[in-house]
Amino acid sequence: MIGRVTLVRKEMTPTNGSCADRRTQALLVFCITAIIGCGAAKAGDSSPADSKWRIRGRVIGLIPDDSSTHINLEAGAARIPLNAGVSVDESVVPELDVTYMITPHFGIEAIAGIAKHDVSIDGSDTTLTGLGVTDNMKIFDVWVLPPTVTLQYHFRPNAGIRPYAGFGVNYTAMLWNDASDRLERTLNSSVDIDTSSSWGWAAQFGVDWDIGGNWFANIDVKYVDVETTASLLVKGLGAGLRVDLDIDPWVVGAGIGYRF
């Protein structure tokens, strides 16, 4: 299913780089504090199969397997398909996840993280080119919050190397949209952006391996179904652009964790 992206102007202060840095630093501090706190809460080693909780701090790369419909130019009741779509760039961010083991084999994992993605024109269209909007031109960025919950099966719960697989659900919230300065200068107009949030499925495979005591290292790969509809309202032209976009990122992560 393909979602829709609508760009609409919102009366709010755009997110800037320093704010993003503060969010990243705060999340890293939270990850470290949580892991240290778990270590203080339980002294000594325990059997992996006896550990009910696992907390991991990871660095993840989000690699979109993206595709989009053609952009539609909307002016009044007219809707004109153009010969270009959009693409989404990759992102690297910190992430925190918590797993509760229902049994030694089955666990529930919840992850939290936030990422910023740039959205650019993909393809060439004479109408867009006439306006100065060219292929690969960034048109806006969006902050994405994709909380995901998966039910996992752990194949070797008491081994030093413990592979697992999971399947679950994802909700992706598109939080802040900001038209690029270049787009607004090119069109000589302010541009309002709106993007829709979506529900989807998620699948994962990962491995934990002990590195000493209750500490372990982790690698994890997820595929997440994410779609949106984006709309851009170009106030100076009295027209808008609309496109449906599947983002569908591969989420590749590595980090350390603590079990207790």
Average pLDDT score over residue span 169-197: 95
- What's the pLDDT score for residue 48? 85
Q: Identify the pLDDT of residue 43.
A: 42
Closest CA to 177 of 3, 2, 4, 8: 8
Averaged pLDDT score across all residues of the chain: 86
Tell me the C-alpha distance between 232 and 194, whole Å: 7
**Contact predicate 34/96, CB 8 Å:** yes
Instruction: To the nearest 10°, report the CA torsion of 92, 57, 204, 216.
Output: 130
Taking the C-alpha atoms of residue 224 and residue 203, their distance in angstroms, rounded to an integer, is 7
Bigger pLDDT: 42 or 147?
147
Specify which residues 239 forms β-bridges with.
234
Q: Each residue of 138-158: b (16+ CB within 10 Å) or e? A: ebbbbbbebebebebebeebe
pLDDT given for residue 28 in this prediction: 52
Q: Say yes or no to pLDDT of 15 above 90.
A: no
Residue 201 has pLDDT above 60, yes or no: yes
| Beta carbons within 8 Å of 34's beta carbon, 6+ residues apart | 55, 57, 96
Domain-wise residue ranges, the chain: 5-259
Closest CA to 256 of 64, 100, 62, 39: 39
Tokens coding 213: 């005591």
236: confidence class by pLDDT, cuts 50, 70, 90: confident
What pLDDT, on the 0 to 100 scale, is given for residue 14? Answer: 40
Q: Output the CATH code of domain 5-259.
A: 2.40.160.20
Most confident range (mean pLDDT) of 8-17, 26-35, 57-66 is 57-66
